[in-house]
Amino acid sequence: MKRTIQISIIALLAIIGTSFGFLKKTTEESSLRDQYSDITSKIVVRALQDSNAYQRLSIMCDTYGPRLSGSKNLEQAIDWIVATMKKDGFDTVYTEPVKVPHWVRGNESLTLNSPYQKNMSVLGLGGTVATEASGVSGEIITVKSFDELTKRSKEVKGKIVLFNVPFTKYGETVRYRVNGASEAAKHGAIASLVRSVGPASMYTPHTGGMKYADDVKKIPHAAISLEDAEMLSRQCGLGLKPTVTLKLEGKFLPDANSRNVIAEIRGSEKPEEIVVFGGHIDSWDVGQGAMDDGGGCIAAWEALRVIKQLGLRPKRTLRVCLWTNEENGLMGGKTYAKLHAKEIPNHVLAVESDAGTFKPRGYDFGGSAKGLEMARELCSLLGIIDASSCEEGGGGADIGPIMEQGVPGMGLIVDDSKYFNYHHTHADMVDKIDPRELAFCTASMAILTFVAADMPKRIPRK
């Protein structure tokens, strides 16, 4: 009997021991999902109940218009954001000065002279030189690649090169926009045109950044619609030798003053540790920059507001940053890295939304293999809104300069199947954004950044 009792006590202790071990394990590993399920549900409900995000996006876009670096529109939009953020009652709201390039478009036109007369839709590419006031006139030669351009080099001199390259992926097709002018100029072209970088078109040219090589003559460079690019190619195929007159007035003014906008909820236990997240507040000078990247900025700002309204305060500091000048200089991201150099070791995570404002699918992650494991766990929290994908490799342009210094970075992934129909065009206006999808983006950013700022461990850098 005595022995049986002894055995039973030992067994009981063993069971208790195992149980404690088991309990310990669950608390540590327990999924962030268990620990934060309550908060994630509250965030989702709040973000989806609220129409504030869409209202603010429309107020910003409809009052100030597109926000090109150096423009009054951009600075007025920033003034409005700062004033409105202060009313939201965050712990800190401030701006930091950033010098930005100041390119202006001026007036522009493209006329088909032959085989028939027609005014064509055109957008000079950001950074292009102007034509002479009377324009540049010449015969079109169309090519489908840089290789074809080289092969037909002898035919190019004195002509206007049109790169009629169908859209595959943005990263691939965009090189004709970025480098087309200098490549064409090497073979003696007098100007260059690019079929807009997008999969579909309703006669909508896309602008965007371009570069000139140092040692090559700078020739005017502009984007035309998919429809006109195809027509000019057909006309060339028929031997009709189409000719056009291109007039551009693009020029650089002296660098201008702009600002990054910062708003924070300070951490309750480790305020010196920071999760920074946001989008870029500048845009191109067409449309309203509603999805590129007004929606990304508003989603981040609203995420902070939802957290504040729910009375949540994470252990670490949550910092929204709306970076300026992503489109044609990246000076906002670069200046942030310089001004916050001392804080970089304390940046726990950087998150950017700049892939359009559509239904979120998850995040991509740039950082170490161990970091990726933790990022996957963070993303699993987003199963609640069916957005738990976590892809290896990524981040964002504005957070790039701090990621280079070791800060783990994540970029919001959305269903971008329609993004490049509107990107950098006059069609990027508020009507293209679905309020509910914007609310899901807000919820996704609020959950990810709150938990990253509150969870026991930091995302490992190595």
The footprint of Zn ion (CB under 5 A) covers: 292-293, 354
Residue 112, CA distances (Å) to 5, 202, 250 in order: 101, 19, 21
Closest approach of Zn ion to the CB of residue 293, in Å: 4
Do the Cβ atoms of 177 and 197 come closer than 8 Å? yes
Cα torsion 227, 230, 235, 239 to 10°: value is 170
> Helix, strand or coil for residue 445?
helix
Chain centroid to CA 423: how far? 11
Closest approach of Zn ion to the CB of residue 287, in Å: 12
CA distance 105 to 327: 14
CA distance 434 to 441: 11
What is the residue type of 196?
A: S
Nearer to Zn ion, 250 or 289 (CB): 289
The answer to whether 326 is a known catalytic residue is yes
Nearer to Zn ion, 266 or 426 (CB): 426
Closest approach of Zn ion to the CB of residue 292, in Å: 4
Closest approach of Zn ion to the CB of residue 279, in Å: 7
Query: Is the omega angle on the peptide bond into residue 115 within 30 degrees of 0, that is, cis?
Result: yes
CA distance 114 to 128: 25
Nearer to Zn ion, 292 or 437 (CB): 292
Nearer to Zn ion, 242 or 409 (CB): 409
Nearer to Zn ion, 108 or 354 (CB): 354
Nearest one of 291, 245, 242, 319 to 416, comparing CA atoms = 291
CA distance 97 to 335: 8
Closest approach of Zn ion to the CB of residue 324, in Å: 12
Residue 261 backbone phi and psi in degrees, to 5: -110, 130
| Tokens describing residue 232 | 């000019």
Residues sharing a CB contact under 8 Å with residue 227, sequence separation 6 or more, in sequence order: 201, 203
Number of helices followed by number of strands (H, E) in the chain: 14, 16
CA distance 127 to 251: 7
Nearest one of 332, 304, 344, 444 to 396, comparing CA atoms = 332
Strands (E), 69-121: 92-104, 109-114, 118-120
Nearer to Zn ion, 131 or 204 (CB): 204
Closest approach of Zn ion to the CB of residue 384, in Å: 27
Nearer to Zn ion, 273 or 292 (CB): 292
> Helix, strand or coil for residue 127?
coil
Closest approach of Zn ion to the CB of residue 217, in Å: 30
Please identify which of the residues 75, 183, 326, 437 carries the catalytic annotation.
326
CA distance 364 to 374: 12
Nearer to Zn ion, 283 or 335 (CB): 283
Closest approach of Zn ion to the CB of residue 224, in Å: 22
Nearest one of 127, 123, 121 to 69, comparing CA atoms = 127
The residues annotated with a catalytic role in the active site are: 326
